[in-house]
Amino acid sequence: MAGRRPPSPPPEIAGYTHERLLGSGGFADVFLYTQQLPRRSVAVKVMLAHATSPQAREQFVAEANVMAQLSTHPSIVTIYHADTASDARPFLVMEYCPRPNLSVRYRTERIGVAEALRIGVRLAGAIETAHRAGILHRDIKPANVLTTDYGWPALTDFGISVATDAVEETDTIGLSIPWAAPEFFSEGAERGPAGDIYSLSATIYTLLAGRSPFEREGGPNGALDLITRIERDPVPAIGRDDVPESLGQVLARGMAKSARDRFATAADLARAIQRVEQELRLSQTTLDVPDTSWIHVPDNVGEDLRTRARSVVTVNPQAPATTGDPLAGERTVLRPQVVPQTPPDGGASRPRDPHQGAGPGGHAQSGAGQAGAPGQPGAGLRQAAPSDGAPGTPGQPGAANPPSARRRWPVWAAVGGVIAVVASGVIIGALNAPDAPEPTPTVTPTLPPDEPSAAAHPPAPADVEGTREADGTVTFSWVGVEDDAEVTYAWMFTRGAPADDSGETRDTFGATSVSVPAAADYVCISVISIYTETRTVSNESVEGCA
């Protein structure tokens, strides 16, 4: 096995000071820099010089644009800046997450159920946000989830993401086998948002089980073994007494073999996890998704009238307003306070009821149903004095009001107040009713689906050649990958396969050659590279024929 390649030299970037190497991948190095203004630590992802082909540059730019579009989400790594260094290498300046990623954590510690549920809901919010923006991640796994200083998960590595309406049924992508959905191993299968939902469910499973879902302790766990189990076997039990059965059912549904049987959206998966939190009497984790309700404006309100001041209008609860204003039915209105006036008779008559109809000038008018002659001033408000020796005669100025008449005033005031409160509540409720849901905006950046990820995937093997042997077999050999990490290979027939061939991928267990039966005059195979530890597959396969 060849030695690990030396890291590329860190580029000189104006306003940034290089500190140290953070990590290396097949197509990029990540360095820690200190940004001078504002002063903070940042991670800078720099493309390797030999990987700066036009296609790779386009993919790198696409990754920067996608992450910048989504990175306002609290569980997606933030992109601060993107540019090209003086040595012509593109770079991304990103949020620095110093704590171990989830791949390191699940291998070195036991993650509690409550924390796994919180991580699941927060990542589901990130994935739902990406899907609403029209973006599929397509490589969700523990290694691609960093951890911020505050313990929040932060999804990264959108290097092989793609627009939802740009997915082709036969596209070839880099993927990580242990967390990949079954449809990614079948030609012609639809590969949409359900693939991300599967990978998120498999990632949560991994955090709890301490292993990927179809990995078996003691093996064999080669690429072919894992793919076969992913396609055929039911999801095994997690094997922890503190994991409730309901959570196992949620994850099993998220990893259903058929995409149609999974949760319809990442938000639906998050809500199912929240129900498990409620069952365990845990605090419910907030699902962070974009709020687009403020975007909608009624058609009868102009663009410049989203915030508008409206004049105060007096509302008569006994009759609809007839102002001719098309927005009159939507107004929130206040009723002017009516101050009781002392009548010319020196106060002998009752104060006017402000909840009767308002006449011109805002003065209350008497109702027709009160005692006294209709149409006479004050007739409907004044009653005859009882025979208690009080001065005055009925209907004359200065006649005293009986106790019953005085008691009716607070009753009418209370009734009018109730009517005003009810009317105001109806109007305010109508104004605060939720708008019709907005259609989800779809952003479709041009992303080449076949371009490699910028990190974490092994290079493809090179120079696959076939030689026919005297016994009728064909021996294929190739140039292995030079990498310090352990690499194995897998192959499958692409032409001239025997009649009994299943079409599955075979693991070579590290060998760089394989002998196959020559069932036809022209035989071809395709070979991929796989990191043995992480089971991450090369972005490209290499074909050879004989």
Q: Check residue 233 and give its pLDDT.
A: 95
Q: Check residue 4 and give its pLDDT.
A: 60
User: What's the token pair of residue 55?
Assistant: 């296609």
pLDDT at 147 over 90: yes
Q: What are phi and psi of 473, to 5 degrees?
A: -90, 170
Average pLDDT over residues 56-85: 85
Residue 507 pairs in a beta bridge with: 490
pLDDT in tens, 381-399: 444 444 444 444 444 444 4
Max mean pLDDT range (89-93, 162-166, 251-255, 415-419): 251-255
pLDDT in tens, 306-344: 444 444 444 444 544 444 444 444 444 444 554 455 454
Cis omega (within 30 of 0) on the bond before 38?
Answer: yes
Q: Check residue 55 and give its pLDDT.
A: 75
| Percent over 70 (pLDDT), the chain | 63
pTM: 0.58
The Cα-based distances of 374 to 76, 340, 377, 395, 480 in angstroms read 75, 22, 8, 12, 108
Q: Angle of helix 245-254 relative to helix 193-209, nearest 10 degrees? A: 140
Topology (CATH level 3) of domain 462-545: Immunoglobulin-like (2.60.40)
Per-residue burial over 47-64, b if 16 or more Cβ lie within 10 Å, else e, is bbeebbeeebbebbbbbb
Residue range 16-95 forms a domain whose CATH class is alpha beta
The Cα-based distances of 97 to 28, 94, 145, 311, 465 in angstroms read 18, 9, 10, 53, 44
The Cα-based distances of 123 to 26, 175, 223, 267, 288 in angstroms read 26, 19, 27, 10, 9
Give 227's pLDDT tier (boundaries 50, 70, 90): very high
Q: Check residue 51 and give its pLDDT.
A: 66
Question: What is the spatial order of strands in the sheet that 473-479 belongs to?
Answer: 462-468, 473-479, 513-517
The H or E element containing residue 128 is: helix 113-132
Under 8 Å between Cβ of 316 and 358: yes
pLDDT in tens, 4-15: 668 889 999 999
| Coil, strand or helix at 42 | strand
Q: Check residue 232 and give its pLDDT.
A: 94
User: What's the token pair of residue 376?
Assistant: 């006479």
Q: Which CATH architecture has domain 102-279?
A: Orthogonal Bundle (1.10)
User: What's the token pair of residue 191?
Assistant: 């590969």
- How many degrees, rounded to 5, is the angle at CA 370 between CA 367 and CA 373? 95
**Nearest one of 105, 103, 111, 138 to 238, comparing CA atoms:** 111
Average pLDDT across the chain, whole number:
74
Q: Where are the domains of the chain?
A: 16-95, 102-279, 462-545
Token pair 């036009």 in the structure block, residue = 54
Q: What are phi and psi of 109, to 5 degrees?
A: -150, 160
Average pLDDT over residues 95-101: 92
List residues with catalytic annotation: 138
- Residue 442 CA to residue 444 CA, distance in Å, equals 6
| Coil, strand or helix at 276 | helix
pLDDT at 169 over 60: no
Under 8 Å between Cβ of 313 and 100: no
- DSSP secondary structure of 451-510: PPPSSSSPPPPEEEEEEE-TTSEEEEEEEPP--SS-EEEEEEEEES--TT-----EE-TT
pLDDT in tens, 181-207: 999 888 766 778 999 999 999 999 999
Residue numbers belonging to the annotated binding site = 45
Pairwise pLDDT comparison (65 vs 200), residue with the higher score? 200
Give CB contacts under 8 A, 24+ apart, made by 340-347.
343/378, 345/378, 345/397, 345/398, 346/398
User: What's the token pair of residue 420?
Assistant: 């005003």
Under 8 Å between Cβ of 530 and 537: yes
The Cα-based distances of 8 to 29, 45, 50, 90, 213 in angstroms read 7, 11, 10, 13, 36
pLDDT at 56 over 80: no
Q: Check residue 292 and give its pLDDT.
A: 60
Under 8 Å between Cβ of 47 and 89: yes
Average pLDDT over residues 532-543: 76
Cis omega (within 30 of 0) on the bond before 220?
Answer: yes
User: What's the token pair of residue 12?
Assistant: 């000189």
User: What's the token pair of residue 492?
Assistant: 């499958």
Q: Which of 64-68, 132-136, 445-449, 503-507 has the lowest mean pLDDT?
A: 445-449
Under 8 Å between Cβ of 381 and 352: yes
Q: Which of 235-244, 273-282, 384-393, 481-490 has the lowest mean pLDDT?
A: 384-393
DSSP 244: -
Q: Check residue 371 and give its pLDDT.
A: 42
Under 8 Å between Cβ of 466 and 523: yes
- Residue 412 CA to residue 369 CA, distance in Å, equals 14
Average pLDDT over residues 494-518: 75
Token pair 């970037």 in the structure block, residue = 13
Token pair 């993927």 in the structure block, residue = 175
User: What's the token pair of residue 529?
Assistant: 């590279």
Q: Which residues have C-beta within 8 Å of that of residue 59, sequence separation ≥ 6? A: 159, 447, 448, 451, 452, 454
Residue 229 pairs in a beta bridge with: none
Residue type, 8: S
Residue numbers belonging to the annotated binding site for ATP = 45
Pairwise pLDDT comparison (123 vs 149), residue with the higher score? 123
Average pLDDT over residues 417-425: 55
The H or E element containing residue 135 is: strand 135-136
Give 523's pLDDT tier (boundaries 50, 70, 90): confident
pLDDT in tens, 266-322: 999 999 999 999 999 999 999 999 876 555 555 555 444 444 444 444 444 454 444
**Nearest one of 427, 426, 435 to 306, comparing CA atoms:** 435
Pairwise pLDDT comparison (424 vs 490), residue with the higher score? 490
The H or E element containing residue 29 is: strand 28-36
Q: Check residue 213 and give its pLDDT.
A: 96
Q: Which residues have C-beta within 8 Å of that of residue 25, sequence separation ≥ 6? A: 453, 454, 455, 456, 457
pLDDT in tens, 351-361: 444 444 444 44
- DSSP secondary structure of 287-351: ------GGG---TTS-GGGSS---------TTS---S--TTGGG----PPPPPPPPPTTSS-SPP
Q: Check residue 410 and give its pLDDT.
A: 52
